Amino acid sequence: MDKSLWGHTVFAVITAIAAYVAWTAPSLDATETVEMISGAPASLTKVSWHEERWDVSLVRRAKSDAFDITVQRLNPPPKVPKVPKADTADGTEADADEQTETPDAVEPAGAEPADSEPANSEEPKEPLEAPKPAETFPTTDKMADILAKVAPLEAARSLGKVATEKLAAMGLDEPASRLILVFGDKEHVVQIGDATFGGGDIYALRADGEVFLLPAATLANMRHGATALQDKNVIGTKQDEVVRLNVTAGVETRELSQRHQKDEKTRFFSDPAEPDEKLELASKWAERLWRLRVMRFADGAPGGTPTLAVELFGENGKALDVLQIWTPDDSEAIAVSSRYEKPLLIAKTSADSLLKDLPALLSEGR
């Protein structure tokens, strides 16, 4: 047989075999994942995230689908500098605990005793400030995204069980971060290591020693204090649920009705006596009311009578929320909201924008 014909025949056979293998082999979906921790979102009761500067806990409320988030900012542990290794006589390096003084060593003239402080020693650094108190807030709508990503917890792929001496290269020998998932009475701890080189995955170690690659997006909303998950709105009730406001300043109270409350573009506030006449100032004032944000929790309870009190009501006169604000000091104002157990601090500018318009609000349209 001609050599060229023989070559073409062999090539055709190899191509046919390759095509058959490709046709019969199971296809791999690019989005295929590996389940690292099993569990349904409905049975997830707590998610905890710990890193060097933050402790974050997401806890499901009793008999509810809602979660609260508790965040505590931590002081990182001081970094202990490594003691440099000294060269030995044979040219190798000696560990710090093997470095000993020569018994017959003589200190040079004028040198300070070995146990004395150096003349130019630095002043001792002040101790780190105490960690800030933990703060608890409701969670934002992004909590649903967390549930979808961690229950079940899915990895890009498994690397199997890795030898102990290889964990350091993955940042898993002494991991600084960890994720804890609690499903009822079952707790799963996942140690979090470094990111892969040039990739979007993070090394993660399961309790049984198996290492996985987690997509970075899985943990994104929980890292660095989980600020995206904290709902710091002073008023918890959505504006589209409110039918009526009672605004009180001193001894005077003004009742305001909200019309078309379900339509963000057309809703407005009016006087109940003239429900179809829009009160421009009152409508804009209410928008500022819903933009109030918590700066932090106050150390103590406010004293005296609040400068402003607002009661929110829904359909059929259902009481929804109560907010009280006191006259601000130089930088902040204290407030009490039925949404939170503790008094709040809000920005002075936000409080002033509501308080300064009270006289006009109480008289508008009358």
pLDDT digits (tens, 9 = 90+) for 319-329: 999 999 999 98
Q: Angle at CA 182, nearest 5°, toward 180 and 184?
A: 170
CA 292 to chain CA centroid, nearest Å:
21
The rounded distance, in Å, linking the Cα atoms of 106 and 99 is 17
Asked if the model's pLDDT at residue 121 lies above 50, the reply is no
The rounded distance, in Å, linking the Cα atoms of 35 and 132 is 37
Asked if the model's pLDDT at residue 92 lies above 70, the reply is no
Average pLDDT over residues 153-163: 95
For the chain, give the mean pLDDT. Answer: 84
pTM of this structure: 0.71
**179 CB-contact burial (10 Å; exposed 0-12 / middle 13-18 / buried 19+):** buried
Asked if the model's pLDDT at residue 281 lies above 70, the reply is yes
Confidence band, pLDDT 50/70/90 cuts, at residue 248: very high
Confidence band, pLDDT 50/70/90 cuts, at residue 98: very low
Asked if the model's pLDDT at residue 88 lies above 70, the reply is no
Highest mean pLDDT among 122-131, 192-201, 248-257: 248-257
Q: What's residue 44's pLDDT?
A: 96
Asked if the model's pLDDT at residue 226 lies above 80, the reply is yes
The rounded distance, in Å, linking the Cα atoms of 308 and 254 is 11
Asked if the model's pLDDT at residue 94 lies above 70, the reply is no
- Percent of residues, the chain, with pLDDT higher than 90: 65
List phi, psi (to 5°) of 322. -135, 135
Radius of gyration of the chain (CA): 32
> Could you read off the pLDDT of 105-116 as tens digits, one per residue?
444 455 445 444
The rounded distance, in Å, linking the Cα atoms of 286 and 143 is 27
Q: Angle at CA 76, nearest 5°, toward 73 and 79?
A: 175
> Could you read off the pLDDT of 30-69 as tens digits, one per residue?
457 899 999 999 999 999 999 999 999 999 999 889 999 9
Per the model's pLDDT, the better-predicted residue between 116 and 198 turns out to be 198
